[in-house]
Amino acid sequence: MKKQSFYVKMTVNSLIRRRSRMFVALLAVAIGATVLSGLITIYYDIPRQMGQEFRSYGANLILVSSGGESTLSAAGVESAKPYFPPASVVGIAPYRYEAVKINEQPFMAAGTDLEEAKKTSPYWLVNGRWPAGAGEALIGQEVADTIRLLPGSTFALTGTDADGAGFSRDFSVSGVLQTGGTEEAFIFMSLADLGEMAGDSGRIDIVECSVSASEASLNQIAAEITSHVPDITPRLVKRVTQSEGTVLAKLQSLVYLVTVVVLLLTMICVATTMMAVVAERRKEIGLKKALGAANSAIVREFLGEGLILGGLGGLLGVALGFVFAQTVSMNVFNRPITFQPFLIPATLAASVAVTGLACLLPVRNAANVDPAIVLRGE
C-alpha cells in the first residue's frame, strides 16, 4: 500500500471512528460557515432587497420638459423609456394636470396611467378601490371632505377645454385617497378620460419614475436621457436617493462588521475545539512519536483532520447559510433571496483557511508532545 493512501486512511478513520468527538468540532466549523455564508448572502442582497423596499416611498426620478413650452408628449416619454434598465423599473407614471370645478369650486384634476401610478406610489391608501374604467375617479381625502363625497357617489366635473369651449362630465367615485400629502387635494382619473374632456390628448406635464437602482446608476440614466432626448430634463429626487444610499451603506457596513466578528469567533471556537482534541490525544501523539513519527508527520495528520473538518463544515455552511439567509430575508424583507454561486468556493475556502489557521497553534502543541509520556503512563 502507498504511503499516501495509508495517510488518508488513517486521517479519515480518525474522523469517522471518533465521530462523536469530531462532531463537536464539525459543528463549530459548520455553524461559523453557516453564519458567514448567510451574512455574505445578505450583504450582497441588501441593496437589491432594500432597493425594492425603498421603492415603496415613491418616485426617485422625475421627467419634466426642457424647453419654454411647458409640455411633454406621450411620444417624448416613450423615447426616454429605452434608457431605463427594464429589470430595475418599478413603475413609470405620466401625469397631466388640469384645473376643473365641482359645484363651482376649483380643484385640480390629474390624469395618469393608473396601473403605473399604483406601482410608483405603493404607499397610497385607497378607501374603496382604484378606478377600473372610464368615468371613474379616485378623489383625494381633502376633495371628499370639501364636497362630501363617498365611494360610490357621483359628481359633475366642469371646466374649459384646450379650444376654450366649456365641458361638463359625470364621474363616479371609485375610492377616496389618503396619502398625508398634497395628493389629497387632487382628483385622479385615466389620461384618456382627461384627454377626452379637456382635449389636447397626449399632453403630459410630468413623469414620475420609480427605479430600483443606486444613486450612481440613477445619475447615469439621467445623463443618458439628457444627451439622447433633449426635450426632456430628468431630475433625481435627491431627498429619496441620498437617504437610500446612506441607509444602504450603513446597513452593509453593519453586516460587514458582524461577518468579521463571526469569523473571529469561529476561529476561536475551532481553535479551542482543536486544542481540546489535541489535549485529549496527547497519549496517542506520544505513542506515534515513540513509534518514530517525525514532528512533520504529526503536524500533517492533524492539519489533514482540520482541513477535512473545514471542508465538510464549509459545505454544510453553504447549504445551511442559504437556508439561514432565506429565513432572514423572508422574515425581514418578505422576499426570497438570490443565491450567489460564488459563495460555494468562497465559503469553502474561508472555512478551510480559518480551520487551518485555528489548527496551527494546537498542532504545534501536538508536535511538541514528549514521547516519554508513553512509558510513564498517566
- Interaction site with another protein (CB under 8 A): 1, 3, 6-7, 9-10, 13-14, 17-18, 283-284, 287-295, 297, 370-372, 374-377
Burial class (CB in 10 A: 0-12, 13-18, 19+), 161: middle
- Of 82, 97, 107, 108, which Cα lies nearest the Cα of 204? 97
Of the pair 14, 88, the CB lying nearest another protein is at: 14
Shortest Å, Cβ 12 to another protein:
10
Helix (H, G, I), strand (E, B) or coil at 32: helix
Q: Is 201 helix (H, G, I), strand (E, B) or coil?
A: coil
Return the exposure string of 163-202: e unless at least 16 CB atoms fall within 10 Å of the residue's CB, then b.
Answer: eeeeeebebebbbbbbbeeebbebbbbbbebbbbbbbeee
Closest approach, Cβ 313 to another protein, in A, equals: 20
Q: Where are the beta strands (DSSP E) in 150-201?
A: 154-160, 166-178, 186-190
Residue placing its CB nearer to another protein in the complex, 290 or 315: 290
State which residue, 76 or 306, has the beta carbon closest to another protein. Answer: 306
Q: Please, what is the minimum distance in Å from the beta carbon of residue 289 to another protein?
A: 7
Shortest Å, Cβ 378 to another protein: 8
CA–CA distances in Å: residue 326 to residues 79, 135, 164, 334, 338: 39, 45, 60, 10, 9
How near is the Cβ of 375 to another protein at its closest, in Å?
5
Please, which residue, 53 or 284, has the CB nearer to another protein? Answer: 284
Q: Which grid coordinates belong to 224?
A: 443618458
Alpha carbon distance 360, 296 (integer Å): 13
Rounded to whole angstroms, the Cα distance separating 141 from 150 reads: 10
- Least distance to another protein from the beta carbon of 284, Å? 6
Instruction: State which residue, 96 or 289, has the beta carbon closest to another protein.
Output: 289
Specify the residue, 149 or 285, whose C-beta has the smaller distance to another protein: 285
Kindly report the backbone phi and psi dihedral angles of residue 360, in degrees, each rounded to the nearest multiple of 5, phi listed first. -50, -50
